Homo-oligomer: A and B are copies of this chain.
Amino acid sequence: MRNMCLLLSYDGTDFHGWQFQPNLRTAEGTLKDALARILGERPKLYAAARTDQGVHAKTQVVNFATERGIPVEGLIRGLNSLLPADIRVLRGGEVPSEFHARYSAKSKTYRYFILTSPLNSPFLRRYTLHVPQGLHVEGMQRAIQAIVGVHDFSAFTKKSTSYRNPVRRVLSAKVKGRGEIIVMEIRAEGFLRYMVRNIVGTLLLVGKGKIDEEGFKAILESRDRDMAGPTAPPHGLFLWDIEYEPSLLFPPYRLGV
């Protein structure tokens, strides 16, 4: 069996998320249909992350096992000719048998984009959350530092989800203002469901001056979802990059940007 890896990019707007669901247009289902037409079999796909409905992927990584000896270049070209324009296979290759898109990932990076212009932009509306007011970026920059390190993120997970282990290690967290665009970036070894969107929703309370840096920290430490802000909508969120041990990467490619 060959272990094949694909690097994808998709616009989440018109997908019901990554994960296959019968009778719904999902990114996984769309990719599987295309793979089935080329390989003559429907391989089980392992993805680095299951993006929720409406969330985009600048980078998504999947792997699957196949007996088919199809050359990688032909596979990528064939997939892109079959796939709709909102999902593209950027790269691919054979990887060591122990490679697993999710379990081999050392870290994942998400970015969330906010547009603060008075009016929403017809051109950015699918990829940014529109917040038509000035946000206090420095306050958000200070507050977000509280999540760096190992923490119980129960306050920021999906309500009514219970994790056996809600502890995750966040490697870096940044807020950058670039004109009318604010970008939040969180890199972590793992994420809970809705974790980024709940952190963003709570950081927005800081940006609007409704809570301060200490208040943000207190919410994290409370481990109580009811203390945190609302879940930010999905369309500003991008699964941005995924990091692996270099020895697991398929030469001559590097995954990510």
Task: Indicate if the CB atoms of B80 and A123 lie closer than 8 Å.
Answer: no
A86 within 8 A of B: yes
Looking at the assembled complex, report how far the CB atom of A235 sits from the nearest CB atom of chain B, in whole angstroms: 11
Q: Which of B9, B11, B119, B122 contacts A10 (CB 8 A)?
A: B122
Chain B residues lying within 8 Å of A11, measured Cβ to Cβ, are: 122-123
Name the interface residues of A91-132: CB closer than 8 Å to any CB of B. 119-123, 125, 127
Task: Indicate if the CB atoms of B90 and A122 lie closer than 8 Å.
Answer: no
Contact with B along A43-80 (1 / 0, CB 8 A): 00000000000001010000000000000000000001
Contact with B along A1-43 (1 / 0, CB 8 A): 0000000011100000000000000000000000000000000
A257 within 8 A of B: no
The distance in angstroms between the C-alpha atoms of A235 and B195, with both chains bound, is 36
Chain A residues at the B interface, C-beta cutoff of 8 Å = 9-11, 56, 58, 80, 85-90, 119-123, 125, 127
Q: Can you add 13 more A-B contacts, CB < 8 Å, to A9-B121, A56-B123?
A: A9-B122, A9-B123, A10-B122, A11-B123, A56-B122, A85-B120, A85-B122, A85-B125, A87-B122, A88-B119, A88-B120, A89-B119, A90-B119
**Which 6 pairs across A and B sit closest by C-beta, in order of nearness?**
A11-B122, A86-B122, A88-B119, A85-B125, A9-B122, A10-B122
Q: List 23 A-B contacts (CB under 8 A).
A: A9-B121, A9-B122, A9-B123, A10-B122, A11-B122, A11-B123, A56-B122, A56-B123, A58-B123, A80-B119, A85-B120, A85-B122, A85-B125, A86-B122, A86-B125, A87-B122, A88-B119, A88-B120, A88-B121, A88-B122, A89-B119, A90-B119, A123-B127
